[in-house]
Amino acid sequence: MKTQVILMLAAMALMSVQTQAQDAEKKFGFEFNGGLSVATQKVADARMQPGFGYEGLLSYRFMPSMGVYAGWGWNKFASKDSFAGKDIDFEETGYVVGLEFRRAFAASDLAGFVRAGGLYSHLELENNDGDIIADTGHGFGFQLAGGIDVPLGNNWSLMPGIKFNSLQRDVAFEGVDRNLKHHYVSARLGVIKRF
């Protein structure tokens, strides 16, 4: 009987310490990331030059290793020659919502993360003057991402990573409908503040 009481008290104390440690961890975060983007294929007949972009994300961890994230992003690619003319910019803007799995590396403050999310984005085609000459309208795509969480102190972290975005939209240009398959890989560097 005495052993059972001691084991029960020890288990309750251990659960209390674990709950307090989890409560001390910040559950919300705001991340800003940006970097180089490279298209993995032509968009219609347009060969994309390397581009760049950024994202702002809010996150919430509802379990120690699992959370949700949502935000808005922008990416820009240039094409010297395309169905829409010479020197056209392809800009993707839109929203992302997804799940994040985060796991600390053994005996280290570093953690790895992977993300899978849905996109609700569109592509705008812009000429040299910055005028929008075509717009696909918003539609659904997906995002896969991963990287490393490097703590900097005071609930700040540096988050280098890589992501893949996939969006397929139709656009009408000069009376011709085209299917634009926009797939690209991005090397990103982010900073997150947890609160």
Which DSSP string do the residues of the chain spell out, in sequence order? -HHHHHHHHHHHHHHHHHHHHHHHS--EEEEEEEEEEEESS-BTTBPPPPEEEEEEEEEEEEETTEEEEEEEEEEEEEEEEETTEEEEEEEEEEEEEEEEEEEEPTTSS-EEEEEEEEEEEEEEEE-TTS-EEEE---EEEEEEEEEEEEEEETTEEEEEEEEEEEEEEEEEETTEEEEEEEEEEEEEEEEEEE-
pLDDT score recorded for residue 31 = 98
Q: What is the pLDDT of residues 65-114, one digit of tens each?
A: 999 999 999 999 999 999 999 999 999 999 999 999 999 998 889 999 99
pLDDT score recorded for residue 24 = 66
pLDDT score recorded for residue 16 = 45
Sign, CA torsion 131/171/138/145: negative
pLDDT score recorded for residue 3 = 59
| pLDDT above 70 for 10 | no
Q: What is the pLDDT of residues 25-71, one digit of tens each?
A: 799 999 999 999 999 999 998 999 999 999 999 999 999 999 999 99
Mean pLDDT of 127-151: 96
pLDDT score recorded for residue 9 = 53
CATH code given to domain 26-194: 2.40.160.20
Q: Rounded to two decimals, what is the model's pTM? A: 0.83
Q: How far apart are CA 119 and CA 168, in angstroms?
A: 11
133: confidence class by pLDDT, cuts 50, 70, 90 = very high
The whole-chain average pLDDT of the chain stands at 90
pLDDT score recorded for residue 25 = 77
Mean pLDDT of 104-130: 94
| pLDDT above 90 for 8 | no
pLDDT score recorded for residue 23 = 45
> Domain boundaries in the chain?
26-194
